[in-house]
Amino acid sequence: MISVRKAVALFLIAALCSFAVAAGPQKTTAPAVTGRELQRRSFALNFLRAVNNAEQDYKKKHGTFGNWDALFAEGYFTETGTKWGSADFPTVAQAMYSRASEIVPGWKLRLTISNGGKSYDALAEDATDAKCGYAGVTDERGMIRESEFISCKM
């Protein structure tokens, strides 16, 4: 009888422990981004979609991906906008792009072509966000990511 009680007690303890492990710590969600911050982040992500689309077209025509100077020279991005922006987000389509380090006021672009023109990495960085360094990142696969300094919480 004692061994049955021990077996039941051990079973209950094991069941409770496995339930606690399965439940794990509660995950917290990042605070919702709203207002001006949401608009700025939306600009970055939609701009990177436009870069991905322009790069695919450029590669189809030239056999390699193009750097910012090449995309700008061929009219993919101009002082009057781009046709590669989404109609749902006209600020990208109608932005006044520049060859300068800030492609539009407040946004810096690092577009690196590698692997003999077969690959690219693009980083659109919020030049006004000194605290967290928000940036959107993409590459030739078309995947877009968001990032901030590791000292900031996303």
Complete DSSP assignment for 119-145: EEEEEEEETT-TTT--EEEEETT--EE
26 or 4, higher pLDDT: 4
Mean pLDDT to the nearest integer, 76-104: 92
pLDDT at 19: 41
pTM of the prediction? 0.76
48 or 38, higher pLDDT: 48
* Closest listed residue to residue 51, CA positions, set 17, 12, 83, 9: 83
pLDDT at 36: 80
Q: Which of 7-16, 28-37, 51-60, 97-106 has the lowest mean pLDDT?
A: 7-16
* Closest listed residue to residue 54, CA positions, set 31, 74, 33, 28: 74
> What's the mean per-residue pLDDT of the chain?
84
Please enumerate in sequence order all residues whose Cβ is within 8 A of that of 101, keeping only pairs 6 or more positions apart, or say none.
108
- Asked if 66 contacts 53 with a C-beta cutoff of 8 angstroms, the reply is no
Residue 148 has pLDDT above 80, yes or no: yes
How many beta carbons lie within 10 A of that of residue 3, not counting itself?
7
Structure tokens belonging to residue 60: 């189809």
pLDDT at 64: 98
Mean pLDDT to the nearest integer, 99-118: 95
Structure tokens belonging to residue 54: 């322009």
* Closest listed residue to residue 106, CA positions, set 37, 51, 54, 60: 37
pLDDT at 38: 85
Residue 71 has pLDDT above 90, yes or no: yes
pLDDT at 5: 60
pLDDT at 22: 41
